[in-house]
């Protein structure tokens, strides 16, 4: 291994160990009903939720995917809406 690469690897390992320990976070505001009801009752009744098989809830990845899903859903909705309610509107359509 080249010295630069070794140095870089050591630096990487060092930063991993130097990462600040996660502080005790206050309870999150605006929890979903999944937390306040579904998972709470499941836990009380002896069943814990597990992580999803494809876990995208990692940092901003989930935010990215939600934004992407919202944009894609919004585009489909807008496109079809325009097709029916704007382009497809006939001049003789009157209020029922």
Partner 1 sequence: MKRNLLLSALLLLLPAPALAMHISEGILPAGWALFWFAAALPFVALGIRQIQARKQLDPSYIPLLGIFGAAVFVFSCFPIPVPVAGSTAHPAGTGLSAMVLGPFASCVIAFISLLLQALFLAHGGLTTLGGNTFSMGVLGSFGGFFAFRLGRLLRLPLFWCGFLAGVAADLLTYFGTSLEMALALHGDLPVLSVLGQIFLAFMPTQIPLCLLEGAVTGGILVYVRKVRPDILKRLGLLKEAVA
Q: Are 62 and 56 in contact (CB under 8 A)?
A: yes
Kindly tell me which of 11 and 31 has the beta carbon lying closer to partner 1. 31
Choose the stretch contacting partner 1; rule: CB under 8 A; options: 1-9, 15-23, 39-47.
Answer: 39-47
Q: Are 49 and 42 in contact (CB under 8 A)?
A: yes
Tokens of 59: 């940092």
Indicate whether 10 belongs to the interface with partner 1 (CB under 8 A): no
Report how many residues bind partner 1 under the rule CB under 8 A. 51
How far is 26 from 52, CA to CA, in rounded Å?
24
Indicate whether 11 belongs to the interface with partner 1 (CB under 8 A): no
Query: How many residues are recorded in the chain?
Result: 96
Indicate whether 13 belongs to the interface with partner 1 (CB under 8 A): no
Task: Count CB neighbours of 76 within 10 A.
Answer: 10
State the residues that interact with partner 1 by CB under 8 A: 29-42, 45-58, 61-62, 65-66, 69-70, 73-74, 76-77, 79-81, 83-85, 88-90, 93-96
């Amino acid at each position: 291994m080249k010295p630069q690469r070794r140095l870089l690897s050591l630096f990487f390992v060092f930063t991993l160990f130097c990462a600040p320990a996660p502080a005790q976070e206050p309870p999150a505001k605006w929890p979903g009903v999944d937390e306040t009801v579904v998972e709470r009752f499941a836990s009380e009744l002896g069943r814990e939720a597990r992580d999803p098989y494809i876990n995208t809830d990692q940092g901003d990845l989930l935010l990215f995917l939600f934004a992407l899903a919202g944009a894609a859903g919004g585009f489909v909705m807008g496109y079809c809406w325009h097709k029916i309610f704007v382009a497809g509107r006939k001049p003789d359509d009157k209020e029922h």
